[in-house]
């Protein structure tokens, strides 16, 4: 099979209709399905296995930084939510409310959590009394509800899953170190595990989290040229500690408000995996995050159950012992060709074919999903060669995504050229910006592009005038249209 040959015919090529391609993959690869409730999805077992892999690997990193997991209530009293004015104003259009419990109307409305600062704050106020109680480093894995008007599976849904960290510190410096430490961890996680290169920097005041002092984010570029925010880390300053009276007695016996952070990453990472790595044939999962890393397909010919099948079973067992997530598909009701197409669509990184001739020659045929290339590998060497091949596939997917990111990041000075690039090529457009909200809003209105992130080093005065107004620029901002 050549690298350009396309086995999968049931999916619209993404080069023809990206949105339709995405939706078909989500359903036909059985990642998720729609429900009768608008904007809500069922994450199917194959999709949830991806989330479990993300969760396990991210959770290990969170705990390695000293954090512990807890769980806080789903419902937030309206009075709690209103304590931080900027926060409630930012989330008001998206909040779902509970007004009746059983058959009785509630005395106070309960918000279904759009984020948890307002319910965690009162508990921290109760728990924190002294400098000895700090830092508080708590994370929770939870579901979130935001009443979105326009939804798309994984990318933007009414209910989604995430982790959210909430920390308290004795000083502003400690809170800033925590915020940036998480940002660095998120970047490393995306690039190491998801094979997705990201840009890490800060948001503008217009784009920051409601109630935050500063929002930092990692942004990735999807293969249709749109940006996607992959994770955020917020320095909350003392906004919430003052609102919820979270104080501690310092070592000089003076009462101080704590300094807080919050940060999160969601199931939209699965949408990013689809859009960054997927091709016209379907998914291409990076091996480290793939639910199944290797599928073994015995070729039924002649007395295959006494010759081919035992060899396939032995190969599967040797790979499992080597720590590989492997599936053996020996079903007789499906043809090998159908299986090849199915597993190509489902993005399994490596397919191993074993037929009668292969058994006779003591080998298996390994087919890579990333490059669609084949190579013969001795059966006795599979436990060593396959993990090495999976590492190669992981690296190739990261390199391909990095090459795309570089090729689709352009530096532009003139506004007319800026508009032209967004219409013809999309991607990130790096341009000088004066720091003014009016220019930011005008560019968004006229081009649908927002400032996604400002990178370290690009957040100082720049040579040349602002893209929009011509005033001196204070930063070089990464603009893009985004999901």
The pair phi, psi for residue 381, each rounded to 5°, is: -100, 0
Report the chain's C-alpha Rg in angstroms: 25
pLDDT of residue 120: 97
Q: What is the DSSP letter of 122?
A: H
Between the alpha carbon of residue 371 and those of residues 2, 421, 432, 448, the distances in Å are: 9, 30, 39, 35
- Pick from 168, 171, 235, 231: nearest CA to 205: 235
Q: What whole-number distance in Å separates Cα of residue 47 and Cα of residue 26? A: 9
Q: Give the number of C-alpha atoms closer than 13 A to the C-alpha of residue 261, restricted to the C-beta side.
A: 31
Alpha helix stretches (DSSP H) within 65-99: 78-81, 85-91
Q: What whole-number distance in Å separates Cα of residue 296 and Cα of residue 320? A: 12
- Residue 331: other Cβ atoms inside 10 A: 12
Between the alpha carbon of residue 453 and those of residues 73, 153, 172, 270, 479, the distances in Å are: 32, 24, 23, 21, 8
pLDDT of residue 85: 76
Query: Six-digit token pair at 248?
Result: 């501690």
Our CA angle for 240, 243, 247, nearest 5°, is: 80
Q: What whole-number distance in Å separates Cα of residue 187 and Cα of residue 86? A: 28
What are the 10-residue block averages of pLDDT along the chain, 483 residues in total? 58 94 97 94 98 98 98 96 82 92 97 96 98 98 94 96 98 98 98 98 96 97 98 97 97 97 98 98 97 98 95 98 98 96 97 97 98 97 98 98 98 96 95 97 98 96 94 97 97
- Pick from 392, 393, 391, 359: nearest CA to 376: 359
- Pick from 229, 252, 258: nearest CA to 428: 229
Q: Please name the helix (run of DSSP H) or strand (run of DSSP E) that holds residue 401, with its range, or none.
A: helix 382-407
**Please, what is the end-to-end C-alpha distance for the chain in angstroms?**
35
- Residue 333: other Cβ atoms inside 10 A: 5
pLDDT of residue 7: 60
The β-bridge relationship of strands 247-249 and 227-237 is unpaired
Q: What whole-number distance in Å separates Cα of residue 332 and Cα of residue 459? A: 61
- Residue 292: other Cβ atoms inside 10 A: 20
Q: What whole-number distance in Å separates Cα of residue 116 and Cα of residue 144? A: 9
Could you tell me which residues are beta bridge partners of residue 253? Answer: none
Query: Six-digit token pair at 319?
Result: 């790979």
Instruction: Give per-residue burial for 155-177: e unless 16+ CB within 10 Å, then b.
Output: bbbbbbbbbbbbbbbbeeebbbe
Could you tell me which residues are beta bridge partners of residue 354? Answer: 298
Enumerate residues 6+ apart whose C-beta is below 8 A from 432.
413, 462, 463, 464, 465, 466, 467, 473, 475, 476, 477
Q: What whole-number distance in Å separates Cα of residue 166 and Cα of residue 170? A: 14
**Domains, the chain, ranges and CATH?**
18-277 (3.30.930.10), 294-389 (3.40.50.800), 409-480 (3.30.110.30)
Task: For residue range 100-142, list pLDDT tens digits in order.
Answer: 999 999 999 999 999 999 999 999 999 999 999 999 999 999 9
Q: What whole-number distance in Å separates Cα of residue 290 and Cα of residue 285? A: 5
Query: Six-digit token pair at 192?
Result: 């190491």
Query: Six-digit token pair at 92?
Result: 């008001």
pLDDT of residue 1: 44
Q: What is the DSSP letter of 380?
A: G
Strands, sheet with 475-480, edge to edge from the N-terminal-most edge strand: 409-411, 428-433, 475-480, 450-453
The β-bridge relationship of strands 259-266 and 159-169 is antiparallel
Query: Six-digit token pair at 473?
Result: 């620029």
Enumerate residues 6+ apart whose C-beta is below 8 A from 132.
none
The β-bridge relationship of strands 227-237 and 214-221 is antiparallel
């Amino acid at each position: 099979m050549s690298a350009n040959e396309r086995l999968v015919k049931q999916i619209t090529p993404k080069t023809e209709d990206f949105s339709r391609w995405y939706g078909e993959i989500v359903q036909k690869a059985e990642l998720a399905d729609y429900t009768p409730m608008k904007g809500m999805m069922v994450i199917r077992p194959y999709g949830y296995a991806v989330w479990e892999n993300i969760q396990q690997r991210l959770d290990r990193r969170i705990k390695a930084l000293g954090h512990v997991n807890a769980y806080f209530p789903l419902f937030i009293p309206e009075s709690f939510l209103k304590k931080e004015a900027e926060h409630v104003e930012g989330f008001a259009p998206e909040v779902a409310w509970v007004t009746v419990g059983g058959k009785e109307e509630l005395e106070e409305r309960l918000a279904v959590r759009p984020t948890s600062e307002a319910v965690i704050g009162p508990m921290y106020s109760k728990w924190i009394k002294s400098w000895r109680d700090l830092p508080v480093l708590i994370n929770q894995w939870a579901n979130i509800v935001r009443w979105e008007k326009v939804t798309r599976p994984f990318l933007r849904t009414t209910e989604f899953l995430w982790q959210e960290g909430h920390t308290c510190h004795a000083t502003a410096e400690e809170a800033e170190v925590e915020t940036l430490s998480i940002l660095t961890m998120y970047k490393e996680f995306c690039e190491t595990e998801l094979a997705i290169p990201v840009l890490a920097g800060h948001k503008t005041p217009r784009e920051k989290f409601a109630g935050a002092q500063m929002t930092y984010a990692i942004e990735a570029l999807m293969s249709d040229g749109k940006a996607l925010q992959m994770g955020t880390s917020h320095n909350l300053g003392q906004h919430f500690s003052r609102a919820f009276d979270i104080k501690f007695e310092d070592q000089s016996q003076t009462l101080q408000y704590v300094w807080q952070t919050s940060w999160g990453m969601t199931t939209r990472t699965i949408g990013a995996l689809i859009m960054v790595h997927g091709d016209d044939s379907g998914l291409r999962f990076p091996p480290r995050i793939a639910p199944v890393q290797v599928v073994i397909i015995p070729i039924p010919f002649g007395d295959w159950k006494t010759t081919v099948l035992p060899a396939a079973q032995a190969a599967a067992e040797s790979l499992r012992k080597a720590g590989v997530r492997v599936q053996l598909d020996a079903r007789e009701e499906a043809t090998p060709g159908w299986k090849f197409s199915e597993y190509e669509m489902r993005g399994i990184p490596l397919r191993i074919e074993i037929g009668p001739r292969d058994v006779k020659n003591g080998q298996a045929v390994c087919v890579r999903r990333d490059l669609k290339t084949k190579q013969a590998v001795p059966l006795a060497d599979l436990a060593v060669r396959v993990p090495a091949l999976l590492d190669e596939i992981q690296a190739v997917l990261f390199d391909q995504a990095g090459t795309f990111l570089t090729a689709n990041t352009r530096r532009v000075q003139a506004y007319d050229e800026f508009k032209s690039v967004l219409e013809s090529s999309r991607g990130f457009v790096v341009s000088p910006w004066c720091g003014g909200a009016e220019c930011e809003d005008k560019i968004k209105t006229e081009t649908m592009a927002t400032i996604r992130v400002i990178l370290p080093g690009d957040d100082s005065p720049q040579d040349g005038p602002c893209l929009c107004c011509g005033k001196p620029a204070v930063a070089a901002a990464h603009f893009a249209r985004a999901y």
